[in-house]
Amino acid sequence: MSESQTTDGALVRVERVEKVFHRGSEDIHVLSDLSLEVPAREFLALMGPSGSGKSTLLNLIGGLDRPTKGTVTVGGERVDELSDRELAHWRARHVGFIFQLYNLMPVLNAEQNVELPLLLTHLSKAERREHVRAALDVVGLSNRAKHFPRTLSGGEQQRVGIARGIVTDPTILLCDEPTGDLDRKAGDGILDLLQALNREHGKTIIMVTHDPHASKRAARTVYLDKGQLGNEPLQ
């Protein structure tokens, strides 16, 4: 996909998306007739209160879930039409995920965690090692490569998570509350890193957050509430 965009220049295009969850006999409308465009190389913050549908929208863009209605196009590819298998391959090639709770594998050390997405590629062991080293260099954790998650601080674990997210050189990085579990200082370090990835490496980043301090680092912020998007927080 690298950098391929839709005809009007948007890398991500969400059109008239509706997402309904079924809980028993009850239908829960999380997203309603929502549209969004994200140009390539943009750093977008997606804000909103808990339960507003931020993570659901991120999951739809990242191909982790499918919309009930509407279309999701990323890099010119209709993500909502891909089969489970195609989606898995698509995610492996094009999307880097960064989670609030880092979601590292506790049985693997830092470099093994970073290597995980590369196991799905055809790279040789030496090439994988080289990519892992480069990714850990970018996040400044080369000296902690052999450490297991339990021996790393929260900030360090999130850096490993980011290294894992960028190691396959995806075009889009999807961050779900990346600083939500960190103190201010560690959180700032992570935001610096994301900014650098956007500015210096040209990564398109969509970051879900409810922290205004974090959203200020993004080039653009959109607000989501009750399944609707706006450019200002809804009152």
Partner 1 sequence: MKFAHLIWCNLKRKKLRTFLTLLSILVAFVLFGMLMAIKQALSGGVQLAGADRLMVRDKVSIIQFLPVSYKARMERIPGVALATHQTWFGGVYQDPKNFFMQNPVIPGEFLEMHPEFILPPEQKKAWLQTRTGAIVGRKTADRFHWKIGGKVPIKSAIFPKDGGDGVWVFDIVGIFEGREKGTDTTPMFFRYDYFDEARSSWAKGQVGWYTIRVQDPAKAAEIAKRVDQEFANSSSETKTEPEGAFLQGWASQICNITLIVSSILGAVFFTMLLVSGNTMSQSVRERTGELGVQKAIGFTNAQIVSLVLAESCLLTTLGAVLGLGLAWMLTSRGDPTGGLLPLFYLPVPDLFIGLGISLVLGVATGFFPALGAMRLRVADALRRM
Write out the residues near partner 1 by the rule CB under 8 A. 56, 59, 62, 64-65, 84-85, 88-89, 91-93, 97, 99, 101, 103, 105-108, 112, 116-117, 119-120, 125, 164
Q: Shortest approach of partner 1 to residue 108 CB, angstroms?
A: 6
Q: Shortest approach of partner 1 to residue 9 CB, angstroms?
A: 27
DSSP 68: S
Select 77 or 188, whichever has its Cβ closest to partner 1.
77
Select 41 or 93, whichever has its Cβ closest to partner 1.
93
CA distances from 26 to 21, 56, 58 (A): 8, 18, 23
CA angle 142, 146, 150 (to 5 degrees): 110
| Bridging pattern class, strands 95-98 and 172-176 | parallel
Q: Shortest approach of partner 1 to residue 112 CB, angstroms?
A: 7
Q: How many residues does the chain have?
A: 235
Select 48 or 96, whichever has its Cβ closest to partner 1.
96
Select 87 or 194, whichever has its Cβ closest to partner 1.
87
Cα distance between residue 205 and residue 37, in whole Å: 13
Q: Which of 174, 89, 87, 163 is nearest to 128 (CA)?
A: 163
Q: Shortest approach of partner 1 to residue 101 CB, angstroms?
A: 6
